[in-house]
Structure 1
Amino acid sequence: MDRQIVFKCPQTGMNVQHRLTAAANDAADTHVSVVCPACTRLHLISRATGRLLGEK
């Protein structure tokens, strides 16, 4: 099942909405790469939590 997440871009500070697609073999600790529309850089987002890699 797809789900929408909102994360804060670490470069611009803007809130960015993104759709995470579900994969059949989702592991709780996997991250997916997302091209940020706010800064056009690549961010890694946790599939389980929707948080950026390194975010507390």
Structure 2
Amino acid sequence: MSVMDRQIVFKCPQTGMNVQHRLGDEPGDRTHVSVSCPACTRLHLIDRATGKLLGDRGR
């Protein structure tokens, strides 16, 4: 794991399950990264800065 890697947990919008994922170093011009979700096998977009799903209002 690199110095910039960090673990995040997000809730899969399809299954409602909590999913753990490691965010690695990405190019600086990308604000979101695609994550293959092991809970539903779909791709979700994660905000690199907050670790939240695209569109998540953070209730």
Tell me how far 1:25 sits from its aligned partner: 2.1
Partner of residue 40, structure 2: 39
Aligned with 1:37: secondary structure? coil
| Inter-partner Cα distance in structure 2 for 1:16 and 1:26 | 25
1:13 aligns with 2:16: yes
CA-based RMSD of the aligned residues comes to: 1.3
Letter in 2 for 1:13: G
Aligned residues: 54
The residue type paired with residue 50 of structure 2 is: T
Q: How does 1:18-33 map to 2 (within 5 A)?
A: 18-23=21-26, 25=28, 30-33=31-34
Provide the rounded CA distance (Å) in 1 between the counterparts of 2:41 and 2:27: 28
Scaled by the length of structure 1, the TM-score of the pair is: 0.89
Q: Which runs of 4+ in 1 moved over 3 A?
A: none
> Which amino acid letter does the alignment assign opposite residue 46 of structure 2?
I
Q: Where does structure 2 lack aligned partners over 5 or more consecutive residues?
A: none
Percent identity among equivalent residues? 80
- Is 1:52 the equivalent of 2:53? yes
| TM score, norm. by length of structure 2 | 0.84
